[in-house]
Amino acid sequence: MRKKALDSDVIHSAFLINGTKMHNIMELVQAATDRAPETEALVVDRARLTYRTLAALSRGFGEQLRTLDPTIGERIAIFLDKRVETVVSMLGAVAAGCVFVPVNCVTHLPKIVAQFCFAIADQGGALKR
């Protein structure tokens, strides 16, 4: 039986940042939010997000992703170009206990389709809506 991804689940690896044990990149964002919530965290073109906003949007995406009932470590393909939503979705996938897989949208369409089909086959051929 596959285990659902939950906030309370233990992540297997950790790393130290300034003496603090972190388990994933979302924890780094949350630590920065706790230290300086109004500091700019992300600037893409004209879009500017503070750490507080980035953390809130990412957690919101993660909560929505959890409604799809992912398992811990499940791969989530992110098909976006370089913009704020890409970073939010990547962090949100991590917040949901998943692994993000960026798909390069600059690549030619046949290669994108091949990458997508390979990813679906690697997941056992199942798509979730």
Task: Provide the pLDDT for residue 124.
Answer: 59
Task: Provide the pLDDT for residue 11.
Answer: 44
For residue 27, is pLDDT > 90? no
Confidence of residue 15 (pLDDT cuts 50, 70, 90): low
**pLDDT, mean over the chain:** 79
Of residues 81 and 50, more confidence is placed in: 50
Q: What is the pLDDT of residues 113-129, one digit of tens each?
A: 776 777 666 665 555 54
Of residues 80 and 86, more confidence is placed in: 86
Please list, in sequence order, all residues whose beta carbon lies within 8 angstroms of the beta carbon of residue 33, skipping any fewer than 6 positions away. 51, 52, 54, 55
Task: Provide the pLDDT for residue 77.
Answer: 83
Task: Provide the pLDDT for residue 129.
Answer: 47
**Pairing label, strands 20-22, 40-44:** unpaired
In order of start, what are the domains of the chain with their CATH numbers? 15-122 (3.40.50.980)
What is the C-alpha to C-alpha distance for residues 27 and 15, in angstroms, rounded to an integer?
11
What is the C-alpha to C-alpha distance for residues 64 and 84, in angstroms, rounded to an integer?
17
Of 30-34, 92-96, 103-107, least confident by mean pLDDT is 103-107
Q: What is the pLDDT of residues 55-78, one digit of tens each?
A: 999 999 999 999 999 988 998 888
